Amino acid sequence: MEYTKTLLREIGLEPERLEMFHIGASEAPAWARAVSEMTERARELGPNRLKKEIKTMQSAK
Amino acid sequence: MPTPSEFRQALASKEFILTAELDPPKGADLSVVQEKISALKGKVQGVVVSDNHSARMRMAPLGLCRALLDQGLEPILTLTGRDRNRLALQSDLLAAASLGIQNVLAVTGDHTSWGDHPQAKPVYDLDSLQLLGALNALNLGQDLSGNPLEGAAPLFTVGAVVPLTANPLQPVIMKFRKKAAQGVDFFMSHPLFDLNNAGPFFEQTREIKTPLLATVCLLKWEQVAGYLPGNIPGLFLPEGMLEQFKSWGEGAYESKAWEFARKLIEAIKKDGRFRGVHLMLQGEEIRVGELV
Amino acid sequence: MIVAQRKPFEEIKKSLAPYENIVVAGCGTCVAVCLAGGKKEVGLLASQLRMSFGLDKKNVKVSEVTLERQCDREFLETVKNEVEQAEAVLSMACGAGIQFLAEAYPQRPVYPGVNTTFIGVAEAAGLWTERCRACGECLLAETGGICPRTICSKGLNNGPCGGMMEGKCEVDPERSCAWVLIYDRLSQEDRLAAMEAVRQPTDYTRQTQPGKVTHAAYLRRYHADSK
């Protein structure tokens, strides 16, 4: 996970966009917290620049 | 056959010898070290001129050694294997001999990573033992490939270095014996702070009678305060000594260090196992008179 | 094996900047073992390149192909199509493989994706250390199986040097002094006599640049038997 974050950092993407959580199948509250956390992070970081670029490139074809 | 150098004669005479270390300037201007040369004159029987000491690029020792001869001092040229291949080493030695420089201290040399050109290629084509071999070959009138030299062969007085307090000691003693067997006229120790620490070395090398000079090094306060074993190449400061030096405090350190050096020199003179003292004053050569 | 490290991403990206169609060529042998240029690493790097160029608003095609070895012509031939459809190649093989690939496809610029570092061994997962300098006159018989030309920072044939401190090397206090290691090993094997002789200087004619080896059985084929 640390390594993959490094790979993201190398290309200028925020490593916080990626995270790994160990959650058991029956741990619903933990799952909810993880989802809230990532949603909150996504809000703070804003839209992923790459997503926009890919859309632009695909529509330009 | 060249006349034996004054230093060679001093070694043969059994008198207690004093030498001092002098670094060439980082530049082409010898006037920068003139004061130090003048201070050393008459005080020591030999001046060991370093060779890119700690891999910091400076004028080659050849230049300063010739200047010392011109001013009536006796030079000992340090030659390391770090910067020159076997061709250049032999060439430089022959040039030195032609300029009247006959005393050579052959060492492996501090690694390039210590100095101010860390990206340079470390040569080490010859290690200290092989360099001693080259010196002996030249003295016999031939080069390392066995080719005869033209004209009169040089008469180098050959020196090597030995760490008396090494740990582990056995491999170091083995190397010391190898050096002695190659043919060395004198040895100089790594900086020594406590004569007792040299005991184990001497116990195992009684059979080697080559003259040995003990090096007395004056450390600066910054070096003591920041000392960690291995952060000054070739300098091992025993724990007890380090604590003692630190206990003096920055203010009192200098005068106490010089006093310590004076006492150490006296002890070395009386010891009986040493033929002399080599002073490493690290830039304070002007004050040599305070010690001798 | 040959150990290499992937070059810094910025450096790789910069060398590929002029192109819109790149193929990343991996190698399945040494560089795969040291996790620098095998199929998986090719996949990761290709992904990064696509994403990075994407962020720069550039639509660059990055293909991937991994061959068994790049130091053998028979494998280089297998990637003809992939190489020829691209404008440039990024080779993840060791320096030898990169050059051989470039030689096989001279019409395409071939860029290195790794820095080849040394001949070494896998000490542990993810950790490789150098063991051999390819000096051409292996002296391991006399040094108890420890190479002073590689392990000693100064490559001394007679050691230890005065920089040895507490059994460690003056250049890196975390590293053991090669000659202390040799002494201990020979001592264990009761072969200290091997260290007592003065070793002669290295024979650099054994390390001609560039080196060339012709197997004895092939001397006649390459007219090398008169040498």
**What pLDDT, on a 0 to 100 scale, did the predictor assign at position C225?**
64
- Per-residue confidence band for C226, with pLDDT thresholds at 50, 70 and 90: low
**What pLDDT, on a 0 to 100 scale, did the predictor assign at position A60?**
65
Whether the pTM exceeds 0.95: the reply is no
Residues C135 and B81 sit within 8 Å (Cβ to Cβ): no
- Per-residue confidence band for A42, with pLDDT thresholds at 50, 70 and 90: very high
State the Cα–Cα distance between residues C95 and B137, nearest whole angstrom: 42
- Asked whether the CA dihedral C109, C113, C116, C117 is positive or negative, the reply is positive
pLDDT above 80 (res A56): no
- Which residue type sits at C67? L
Q: Dihedral of the CA atoms B63, B67, B70, B75 (nearest 10)?
A: -80
B187's CB contacts (< 8 A; 6+ apart) are: B159, B160, B161, B162, B176, B179, B210, B211, B212, B213
DSSP B51: S
**CATH code linked to domain B6-290:** 3.20.20.220
Whether B170 and C163 lie within 8 Å, measured CB to CB: no
Alpha-helical segments (H) within B44-169: 61-70, 86-98, 128-139
CA distance A16 to chain C (A): 16
Residue whose C-alpha is closest to residue A50's, from C19, C49, C62: C49
Phi-psi region of B141 (alpha: psi -120 to 50; beta: other; left: phi over 0): left
Mutate one of B83, B87, B113, B130 to test the C interface: name it (highest C CB count within 10 A).
B130
Q: Is B215 on the interface with C (CB under 8 A)?
A: no
Give the domain ranges of chain B.
6-290
CB pairs B-C closer than 8 Å: 99
pLDDT > 70: percent of chain A: 93
**What pLDDT, on a 0 to 100 scale, did the predictor assign at position B1?**
74
**What pLDDT, on a 0 to 100 scale, did the predictor assign at position A61?**
54
pLDDT digits (tens, 9 = 90+) for C79-122: 999 999 999 999 999 999 999 999 999 999 999 999 999 999 99
Structure tokens at C63: 């293909």
**C156, C162, C204 ranked by CB distance to B190: nearest:** C162
B170-183 vs B128-139: helix crossing angle, rounded to 10: 10
Whether A11 and C55 lie within 8 Å, measured CB to CB: yes
Q: What is the secondary structure of B3-18 as a DSSP string?
A: PPPHHHHHHHTTPPEE
Q: Where do the domains of chain C lie, and which CATH numbers do they carry?
A: 2-118 (3.40.50.2300), 134-201 (no CATH)
CA distance A45 to chain C (A): 16
Phi, psi of C124 (to 5 degrees): -165, 175
Mean pLDDT of B8-25: 96
Structure tokens at B53: 């000491």
Residues C67 and C76 sit within 8 Å (Cβ to Cβ): yes
Residues C143 and C149 sit within 8 Å (Cβ to Cβ): no
State the Cα–Cα distance between residues B176 and B249, nearest whole angstrom: 37
Q: Mean of the per-residue pLDDT values for chain B? A: 96
Residue whose C-alpha is closest to residue C184's, from B174, B58, B92, B95: B174
Mean pLDDT of B21-44: 97
- Per-residue confidence band for C152, with pLDDT thresholds at 50, 70 and 90: very high
Using DSSP's 3-state secondary structure scheme, residue A36 falls into: helix
**What pLDDT, on a 0 to 100 scale, did the predictor assign at position B127?**
97
DSSP C212: -
Phi, psi of B74 (to 5 degrees): -105, 110
Phi-psi region of B22 (alpha: psi -120 to 50; beta: other; left: phi over 0): beta
pLDDT digits (tens, 9 = 90+) for B151-174: 999 999 999 999 999 999 999 999
Using DSSP's 3-state secondary structure scheme, residue B194 falls into: coil
Question: Quick one: C211 exposed, middle or buried, by C-beta within 10 A (0-12, 13-18, 19+)?
Answer: exposed
- Per-residue confidence band for A55, with pLDDT thresholds at 50, 70 and 90: confident
pLDDT above 80 (res C224): no
Mutate one of C7, C9, C20 to test the A interface: name it (highest A CB count within 10 A).
C9
pLDDT digits (tens, 9 = 90+) for B220-261: 999 999 999 888 988 999 989 999 999 999 999 999 999 999
Q: Is B190 on the interface with C (CB under 8 A)?
A: yes
Mean pLDDT of B6-30: 96
Pairing status of strand C127-132 against strand B157-162: unpaired
Chains with at least 3 CB pairs less than 8 angstroms from chain C: A, B
- Which residue type sits at C100? F
**What pLDDT, on a 0 to 100 scale, did the predictor assign at position B229?**
86
- Per-residue confidence band for B178, with pLDDT thresholds at 50, 70 and 90: very high
Cα C119-C122-C128 angle, rounded to 5 deg: 65
User: How many angstroms separate the Cα of B122 from the Cα of each of A44, B80, B127, B161?
Assistant: 52, 11, 12, 20
Q: What is the secondary structure of B105-123 as a DSSP string?
A: EEE----GGGSS-TTSPP-
Q: Mean of the per-residue pLDDT values for chain A? A: 88
A59's CB contacts (< 8 A; 6+ apart) are: none
pLDDT digits (tens, 9 = 90+) for C1-58: 999 999 999 999 999 999 999 999 999 999 999 999 999 999 999 999 999 999 998 9
Q: Is ipTM > 0.90 here? A: yes
Whether B130 and C157 lie within 8 Å, measured CB to CB: yes
Q: Dihedral of the CA atoms B6, B8, B14, B19 (nearest 10)?
A: 70
pLDDT digits (tens, 9 = 90+) for B88-109: 999 999 999 999 999 999 999 9
Structure tokens at B224: 């003591």
Whether B171 and C159 lie within 8 Å, measured CB to CB: yes
State the Cα–Cα distance between residues B65 and C136, nearest whole angstrom: 40
Q: Which long-range contacts (CB under 8 A, 24 or more apart) does C79-87 make?
A: C79/C23, C79/C25, C80/C105, C82/C23, C82/C25, C83/C23, C83/C25, C83/C108, C84/C108, C85/C21, C85/C23, C86/C19, C86/C21, C86/C22, C86/C23, C86/C61, C87/C19, C87/C20, C87/C21, C87/C22
pLDDT above 90 (res C227): no
pLDDT > 90: percent of chain A: 69
- Per-residue confidence band for B2, with pLDDT thresholds at 50, 70 and 90: confident
- Partnered with residue B157 across adjacent β-strands are B103
Count CB neighbours of C198 within 10 A. 16
**What pLDDT, on a 0 to 100 scale, did the predictor assign at position A52?**
78
Q: Which residue has the higher pLDDT, C209 or B290?
A: B290
Mean pLDDT of B120-142: 97
- Per-residue confidence band for B211, with pLDDT thresholds at 50, 70 and 90: very high
